[in-house]
Amino acid sequence: MTTAETDFPALYREKIRFSDTDMLGHVNNLAFASFFESARADILYGSGKLEVPECFFVLASSTIDFTGELNFPGEVTVGSAIARIGTSSATFRQAVFQNGQCAASSTSSMVQIGGPERKAVPLSEVARSHLAGLLRLTHDGLANPQAGADHDKR
């Protein structure tokens, strides 16, 4: 199955920095993780809707499958969808694209923690509603085609 930008309800754009590259002009694998993180942070914190006093989201797990390369100079688009909403967590499905070509896909789980114990706390109804707007599942767990919000960060 081919992954396309149009498969994701949230799109985030970012310029590739020279510091993201190796000597051949290829983007280093660590930069992919940064692109995915920036897109997740934009969803979780960009609107201010999910901010709960004394609570924040932490990365509980993350996998990246590399399927292509990214090159400097240029720009990437990260597509994001929510695959699952738990009591205190959300599972993200993401892919990074350059010139419409998918270079990697990722699955990650973010958990909301808070209080002095830094324990998992239930998502608020506002958070559930916001994340549910990005919920996209198919029989194989991939995002359904449905374009949506475009978070442009240049």
Sign of the dihedral defined by the CA atoms of residues 89, 153, 76, 37, in that order: negative
What pLDDT was estimated at residue 53? 78
Domains of the chain and any CATH numbers: 5-135 (3.10.129.10)
What's the average model confidence in pLDDT over 55-62? 93
What's the average model confidence in pLDDT over 81-87? 96
Note the pTM of the prediction, 2 decimals.
0.85
What's the average model confidence in pLDDT over 130-145? 66
Nearest to 16 by CA among 94, 95, 96, 70: 70
Does the pLDDT at position 112 exceed 50?
yes
How distant, in Å, are the alpha carbons of 20, 39, 76 from that of 12? 17, 6, 8
| More confident position, 48 or 122 | 122
